[in-house]
Amino acid sequence: MHELGIATQIVGVVTRVKEENSADRVGLVTVDIGLLAGIDRESLEFCFEAITKGTALEGASLRIEEVKPVGKCRKCGEEYEVRPDDFTCSACGSTDFDMITGSEISIREVEIESDEEG
């Protein structure tokens, strides 16, 4: 259940963005979650909703963009899609790779709205 901790961090960052921009409301919050980041999507959605309810972020919604894991093989240099249950390089069969994408937990974009535009 570290999704609660992750959701809390997201809420902290979004609250900061809202205040910095003197916004009145937050709309869609888009996050990139790598499929090898060890985050359960449903738990994160649940936690985000639970901890924003009744707060200044009420009404904000979370959009999770899943990022496919891509690795660069340390043996042959091939870049290939790493399946969460099978890390084998599609070119040479090695499982020794550097992760290029797939472990990220990051906030891509926040939509904010102010009553008086200006």
Partner 1 sequence: MKKVDLREKVLTANDKIARKNREKFSETGTLVLNLVSSPGSGKTALIEETVKALKGEYKIFVITGDLMTENDARRVARHGVDAVQISTGDACHLNARMVDARLTDKGTLYDLVIVENVGNLVCPAPYDLGEDFKVLLVAVGEGDDKPVKYPPMVRASEVLVITKTDLVPYTDSDPARIKANALKIRPDLKVFQVSVKTPEGLDEWTSWLSSRLKAKKQTAQGK
Binding residues for partner 1, rule: CB under 8 A, are 1-2, 5-6, 9-10, 12-13, 17, 21, 23, 27-28, 31, 36-38, 84-85, 87, 94-96, 99, 103-114
CB of residue 94 to partner 1, shortest distance in Å: 7
Q: Give the C-alpha distances (Å, rounded to integers) separating 111 from 4, 23, 79.
A: 22, 10, 34
With 0-12 / 13-18 / 19 or more C-beta atoms within 10 angstroms meaning exposed / middle / buried, residue 11 is buried
CB of residue 62 to partner 1, shortest distance in Å: 12
CB of residue 11 to partner 1, shortest distance in Å: 10
What token pair was written down for 17?
Answer: 């963005």
